[in-house]
Amino acid sequence: MSVNEILAPSTHSAGDEQQLSRVYDMLTAEDVLNPRPRHYLVGGAGDDPVELPQEVYEVLRHVVDAMRKGLSVTVSPTTKALTTQQAADLLGISRPTLIKALDDGQLPYTRSGTHRRIALTDVIDYRDSRRRAQYAAIAMLSADVDESSDIDETLADLRRARKAVGAKRRASKAG
C-alpha cells in the first residue's frame, strides 16, 4: 500500500452486525469494569501486544459503534493546520463565508506568507459553537405547546402569524 493510498480518504460500510456488536460490547465492557483500562493490539501470528493510545481506542470505539448501527464510516486524514478551502469544506460553508468569519475575528488563524492557515482544533470548536447556537435558536423559536393547550387553537395562531408575515413581506415589496 502506497503512502497516497494510506492518506486518501476512504469510506467503509458496515460488515457482520453480530460480530461488530460483540466487538463493541467487549470495548465498552472494559470501560465499565476498569476505570482506567489499557487496550492492546495483538497480531494474528501471536506477536507481542502493542498498547493502543487512548485516542486510537476512542476512534476505534466510535467507528465500531457507527458500523454496528448500519452506518458507513469515512476516514479522512488531515493536517493540524487547514487551508481556508479545507476549513470551509469541513464546516460546510463557502470559502468567502469563512473568510468573512476570519476577518470578523470569529475564528483565529495564522498567516503563512499570503496564505491563511487555521488550526483544526479551532475549526472543530467553531463548528461545535455554531451548532450549539443553531440549536439554541431553534429551541427559542419553537412554539411552546403544553398538554393543556388546544392544538387546533395553536395551529390557528400559527396560521394567522404566517399570514401577517406574508402580508408584511408583500407590502414591503410593493412599496
Is the pLDDT at 81 greater than 70? The verdict is yes
> Which whole number is the average pLDDT over 116-126?
93
> Which whole number is the average pLDDT over 42-59?
81
User: Can you give the pLDDT at residue 60?
Assistant: 85
Q: Could you tell me which CATH number the domain at 81-141 has?
A: 1.10.1660.10
Taking only the tens place, the pLDDT of each residue in 51-71 is 888 888 888 888 888 888 888
Is the pLDDT at 27 greater than 70? The verdict is yes
Nearest Cα to Cα of residue 61 among 46, 48, 73: 73
Q: 109 near 48, Cβ under 8 Å?
A: no
